[in-house]
Amino acid sequence: MSSSSTSPSPFVSGLKCACPRCGKAPLFAGPLNPLAMRDKCDACGLDYKFVDTGDGPAVFGIFILGFLCVGGALIAEFKFGVPWWMHIILWGILTPIFAVFLLRFLKATLIALQFSNKAEEGRIAKE
């Protein structure tokens, strides 16, 4: 696993949800399962077995989404005075949609950062 100097920025790869090495092929399988990853890159052949984002995308997603949804609910309540049932419909529909899209970008960005920083589990050095 090596990051060449021609690799795109991890943040560009993350926003495009593309391969962290070539930035050309999509990282995720498809729209029906938006968070499932492919086994390897279709363009450069990078094997995605090294990927280990753990709970990172979910933690960042909870913080960002919580801020946006609570802020949006407060604005909707106090600026526009929407009724309580509108909050349930609005946030009950928008929150899961935002969550999936946000998780895609965050997961792709953390994978690209893991790739570019060569982050992996610690190992005892072989001498």
By CB under 5 A, tell whether 108 contacts Zn ion: no
Written as one string, the DSSP assignment of the chain is ----TTSPPHHHHHHHTB-TTTS-SBSEEETTEEEEEPSB-TTT--BGGG---TTHHHHHHHHHHHHHHHHHHHHHHHTS---HHHHHHHHHHHHHHHHHHHHHHHHHHHHHHHHHTT-----PPP-
Closer residue to Zn ion in complex, CB, 8/61: 8
Binding-site member from 37, 44, 64, 76 for Zn ion (CB under 5 A): 44
Binding-site member from 8, 13, 27, 41 for Zn ion (CB under 5 A): 41
Binding-site member from 17, 19, 27, 110 for Zn ion (CB under 5 A): 19
Task: Choose the stretch contacting Zn ion; rule: CB under 5 A; options: 13-21, 29-37, 96-104, 113-121.
Answer: 13-21
In angstroms, what is the minimal distance from the CB of 5 to Zn ion?
15
Interface residues with Zn ion (CB under 5 A) are 19, 21-22, 41, 43-44, 46
